[in-house]
Each structure stands twice: as structure tokens, then as C-alpha cells.
Amino acid sequence: MPTWHFEYQSAATALCKQFSTKDLSGYGCQEHPLAIAAAGAVLQFVKDTQKSALPHIDGLKVHHKDDYLLIDTVSRNNLEIEKSTHGKTQHSLIGVLDKTACAMGARCLRTWLNQPTRAQTTLLKRHAAIAELIHVNDYTVLHDLLSDINDIERIRSRIALQTAQPRDLDALRRTLELIPCIQQALTKYNSELLCNSLDLLNGHEQLASILTNALNKEPPALIRDGGVIKSGHDEELDQLRNLSSNANQFLVNLEQQEKAATKISSLKVAYNRIHGYYIEISRNQANQAPEHYTRRQTLKNTERYITPELKKFEDEVLNAKERALKREKFLYEQLLLSLLNELNTMQRCSRGLAQIDVLATFAERAKSLNYVQPTFTDKTCIKIKQGRHPVIEQVQHEPFTANDVSLDEQRKMLLITGPNMGGKSTYMRQIALIAWLAYTGCYVPAEAAKLGPIDAIYTRIGASDDLSTGRSTFMVEMTEAANILNNASDKSLVLMDEVGRGTSTYDGLSLAWSCAEHLSMVNQSFTLFATHYFELTQLPESFRNIHNVHIDAIEHNDRVIFLHAVKEGQQIKVMVCKLHNSQAFLNL
């Protein structure tokens, strides 16, 4: 976009013109000039690409970062919210949760999941709705009804841009016909959010009536094919259609009349697209043709004629068909214009249906996957009993080993030690994902979960380089660590996995030690710090808010067996295992 599109005054003027307002103070964005400039540039971009008016863009909403649980792109990828590290959606958090019935619900689910809210009133409303859906145990009925719902949001956009096709309107009509059934199913619920969703579905009757009165039941794909507008909707269109539809009967009557008048047995009245209407007589009887017959075409065995009466009828019929299509196109355009007044109704219905779909999906997932309702407190803590990783427990064949975690003011950092493949990263990620789900408004995979205020989640996990920007593996790691140390607060949840790799042992140990010390003393964040530097287990001796835990493993028949269980303290024995006739010493 050109630079001038981001100029504040021109952007504000464009937005005010779009919303028909004197200024933008009613949207609470006057103190955010950069956001106004960006919004104006976006509006201009859409106008340039769509080449039409945008009546469905009718307001602004200000998002404050303090309203949401923050997460950066690196952490979002590490936690595999929408895609796994291998790019597979089915092995991500969204892949486990997304059992929505309609496209609007799927988009709403992604919105909630990508923007977890810190507003406890909103979260409690979502949890109450899920609890009631589970208690009534009727969410499958809602899911079945919603599975036949069409995408009102997309159709609404096409109507606003005046590009909606007849089958878009037919899909909208069929969706509106299902809403009374959904409303009936919702009458048994009393939770505030479900009642709010029910209210959003009210007021669609006029829109449904407009579509029912105007559209045929199964309209063609394109208006140019005709047959879109319902008979009885427009008197002029009905007259033109009747003239066209009665043509066959007129031809039958004319043929009988001419046969009787001319006594020519081979006479036929017919029509084709090239020559129009004509009277056909065999070559043997052509000499009996009356004088007012005008020859139109000569074939091998027949002669074709036209009469003044037939010519007049042809002009009327062909003109009627053209006029009917023209009239029908005009009526369809008027229908689309009239639907602009119903854009708000469509928006309310789509929001209500999407919200119902997500809540019903959360209820089904909670019941099917044995999730529980988390609780929130104003105290500084993260306490999870028998927590599980929501994705791994679904994709692995063996039973998942659940673990507890307890973090509070006196226990802000856990130093996690244990062997490779023992489950350190899984343990850390499951805690972050449980917190993420709780702040989404979903139930969580645990026996119990109690969460204090959390403002952000930061992660430093995995080893990768970014050669396109000239950053080695070590530099990527240090950049991510610096971001955490500079931005994490005492309400942030931090996951640090193997800090200090990619350099010498003592340099790496020094970096890991200093990061842990800074997080403990300066940031004071909730921190899960996994490490192979066994020297770090001495930190609890100097810092009261740091505690040691380890991933349990045992030796059996010269083999190491990973128990994946998190135990308090550090495991200090040295375990010996034989690998290919050599000995490897694992400092656990």
C-alpha cells in the first residue's frame, strides 16, 4: 500500500465516511492514531480490491492487549495451537477440539482459541453454558441441526457486495427455515450465554419471508438461466411467462386450424432455434400451399413457410422470453438491494449460530475426552491435578501418564531434570495448553485445575536456525531468551527448554544459570525450566522460589524404562545401561 494511505487524517476521514459519523470518538479509538491509520489503510485496500460499496463494514472495535492472554508467534508454533511442527492440523490443539458442525462455528472456535480472554466474567459464562449442555446432555441435537446450516457470514458478504447468486439466497433461506428448530432446542437452557445466543436468533422472520416470497424452491445457479423468481411475486413477469409457456398450445391449435383450412395432411407447425416458428409441408403437397404462405426454407423433402399470423406470434413469444429474463434480472437486483436492510439481522444470526456451535462442541469434547471445568482465583498460583497433554493423549496408543503441578508465590520456578525422551517437554507444554484452554473458556484435560491471573505465555523450546536472516541456532535461542527476559512479567508463564545449547559447556551453563536467576529474581514469572545441566539443581539452595522436580526413570534388565512421572526433588543416582555392548552413563 502507498505510504499516504496510512496518513492519520485521511484514514480517519475515510472511516467516518464509511460509518456515516462525524468522528470516531464513539468507537473509543481516538487515543490510538496508529490503529486508526492502519484501519483506514485496510478499508482502502478492500475498496480497491472489491471495486464496490462495503455496507457490511459498519463499525470499529478496539482490542486492548490487557484483555487477552498474549502469546508470540514462536510460542504459538511451539505449543502447536493450529498446526503441528510438521504442518499437520490433525496433530494440533485445533485438530483435537474442532468438531464443529458449520463453517461459522469453525471460524468462531479459531477466534476464541487464538484470542483467549482474561475477562473472568466471559470465561465463567462460557463454562456455565458448557456445564448446562453437559447436564442436559442434548448437545448432539444441536450439533445435528447445525450441520445443515449454511455459511450466513459468507452469504452476507456477497449480498453486501451485490455478488450473491440465486443459490446463495436459497441456502440462506433454507438456513433461516431451520432456525425455529434450533430456537426450540434452546428453550430448555437457562445459562446466560445460551439465552443470549437465543436472543440473537430472534428477528429473522422478515428476512425469511422476503426470501420465501421471492425465490423459487430450487433456483438455477445463474440468474441468466431464468426461473429464479417465484410465480405470483410479480404480475408483469407472470404475464410474460404465461405468453411463453402457452406457445406450445398455440402451435397445436394453429396446426389443427391450418390442416382443416388447407386439407393438407402433411402440414406441421414447429420451431427451432435457428429459424424460429414455421409451417412445414411435404414436397408432394407443396403445390397446395395457400397464397398467403411465404416460403422460409426449402429442404430435400419438405418446404417450410411462414404466415403473417405465425410471424406476429413469433415476435411476441421471442420478445416475451427476452423481456421475462430482463424483468427477472431487474427483480433479482431489487431483491439484493432490499436485503441490504437485513445485513444486521444476518450478522446477529450468524454470531448466535456460531456461538451455539462452539459451546456445543466444547461440551461434546469435555464429555468425550474427560475434561473438567477449571476454576479461577485472584491469588498467584497454577495448580493442576493429574493434567494431561490434550494432543498427545489422543495420538499415542499407550495410556497417557498424567502429572500434577503446583506453582505459587513461594514456588515460582520448577527446575526439571531427567533423561532425554523422558517427557520434560511434554510436561511443560501440557501445563501451558491447559492454561490456554482455560482462558479460552473450554474445559481442560485434568482432574482439577485452579489458575491465578496469567497475562502471557512465553516459550523457548526446540533447536532451529533461521539462515534467511543470518541467525544460527544459538542466535535464535538467545534472541528468544532475550525476548522472554525483557517482556515476561510476574503473571507470565514461561517455558524454557535446554537453554545454552550450541556453545561450549561452561558458556552454556553460565547462560542457563543467569537466565534462571533473572527469571527468579527480576521477572518472577511462573517458570518451567528444563535442563541437562545438573549443576543448576543447586539453585534452590540460593533462591527460595526455585524448586527441583525430575522425570522418573528406572533401570530394569540393563534397560532404562521411562515412567514419565514427575517427582519432587532431584534424582541423584547414576544409572548404567548397556547399548551395543558399551556402557553409557546417564546422570539423572
Distances from the Cα of 459 to the Cαs of 233, 439, 499, 501, 511, in angstroms? 62, 17, 11, 15, 16
Number of Cα atoms under 13 Å in the Cβ half of residue 432 = 32
Say what the pLDDT of residue 571 is.
Answer: 66
Least confident of 5-19, 106-120, 236-250, 498-512: 236-250
For residues 441 and 123, is the Cβ–Cβ distance under 8 A?
A: yes
Q: What is the average per-residue pLDDT within 277-306?
A: 90
Residue 376: which H helix or E strand, with range?
A: strand 375-376
- Determine the Cα–Cα distance for residues 437 and 539; give it in Å rounded to an integer: 32
Domain ranges, ordered by start, for the chain: 1-62, 67-226+337-366, 239-323, 370-587
Compute the CA torsion angle 102, 108, 110, 111 (nearest 10 deg). 170
Burial group, residue 265, by CB count within 10 angstroms (0-12, 13-18, 19+): exposed
Least confident of 58-72, 166-180, 467-481: 467-481
Cell numbers found for residue 489: 512479567
Say what the pLDDT of residue 575 is.
Answer: 46
Among 426, 431, 439, 432, which residue's Cα sits nearest to residue 385?
431
Among 544, 355, 376, which residue's Cα sits nearest to residue 453?
376
Residue 588 has pLDDT above 60, yes or no: no
Say what the pLDDT of residue 240 is.
Answer: 81
Write the class of the CATH domain 67-226+337-366: mainly alpha
- Determine the Cα–Cα distance for residues 13 and 9; give it in Å rounded to an integer: 6
Residue 261: which H helix or E strand, with range?
A: helix 247-262
Q: What is the pLDDT of residues 251-291, one digit of tens each?
A: 888 889 999 999 998 999 988 878 888 999 999 899 899 98
Q: What is the pLDDT of residues 478-525, one digit of tens each?
A: 888 999 999 999 999 999 988 877 777 888 899 999 999 999 999 999
Residue 364 has pLDDT above 70, yes or no: yes
Q: 1-62 and 239-323: same fold?
A: no
What letter represents residue 559's amino acid?
R
Give the CATH number of domain 239-323. 1.10.1420.10
Per-residue DSSP letters for 537-571? Answer: GGGGGT-TTEEEEEEEEEEETTEEEEEEEEEES--
Per-residue DSSP letters for 493-508? Answer: EEEEESTTTTS-HHHH
Q: Is 370-587 in CATH node 3.40.920.10?
A: no
Burial group, residue 300, by CB count within 10 angstroms (0-12, 13-18, 19+): exposed
Q: Which residue has the cell 462495503?
A: 54
Give the CATH number of domain 1-62. 3.30.420.110
Sign, CA torsion 84/88/93/96 = negative
Cell numbers found for residue 311: 410471424
* CA of residue 11 relative to chain centroid, distance: 29
Phi–psi pair at 403, nearest 5 degrees: -140, 155
Task: Label residue 583 by pLDDT band (50, 70, 90).
Answer: very low
Per-residue DSSP letters for 80-107? Answer: TSSS-TTS-GGGSHHHHH---SSHHHHH
Say what the pLDDT of residue 124 is.
Answer: 95
Paired residues of 530 in beta bridges = 416, 497
Q: What is the pLDDT of residues 545-565, one digit of tens each?
A: 999 999 887 777 777 777 788
DSSP assigned state of 264: -
Per-residue DSSP letters for 394-410? Answer: HH-SSPP--EEEEEETT
pTM for this entry: 0.82
- Determine the Cα–Cα distance for residues 514 and 509; give it in Å rounded to an integer: 9
Q: What is the average per-residue pLDDT within 521-540?
A: 93
Cell numbers found for residue 426: 511434554
- Determine the Cα–Cα distance for residues 247 and 15; give it in Å rounded to an integer: 55
Residue 471 has pLDDT above 80, yes or no: no
Q: What percent of the chain has pLDDT over 70?
A: 96
- Determine the Cα–Cα distance for residues 571 and 286; give it in Å rounded to an integer: 113
Task: Label residue 465 by pLDDT band (50, 70, 90).
Answer: low
Cβ density class 394-431: b for 16+ within 10 Å, e for less: eeeeeebbbbbbebeeebbbbbbbbbeebbbbbbbbbb
In the three-class reduction of DSSP (H, G, I as helix; E, B as strand; rest coil), residue 375 is classed as strand
Phi–psi pair at 502, nearest 5 degrees: 85, 5
- Determine the Cα–Cα distance for residues 201 and 345; give it in Å rounded to an integer: 8
Say what the pLDDT of residue 185 is.
Answer: 93
Q: What is the average per-residue pLDDT within 207-236?
A: 90
Sign, CA torsion 461/464/465/466 = negative
Task: Label residue 6 by pLDDT band (50, 70, 90).
Answer: very high
Q: Which residue has the cell 533461521?
A: 466
Q: What is the pLDDT of residues 309-358, one digit of tens each?
A: 888 888 877 778 788 889 999 999 999 999 999 999 999 999 999 999 99
More confident residue, 587 or 540: 540
* CA of residue 556 relative to chain centroid, distance: 49
What letter represents residue 530's amino acid?
A
Cα-based angle 262, 267, 271 (whole degrees, multiple of 5): 130
Residue 58 has pLDDT above 90, yes or no: no
Residue 418 has pLDDT above 50, yes or no: yes
Among 326, 330, 126, 292, which residue's Cα sits nearest to residue 214?
330
DSSP assigned state of 273: T
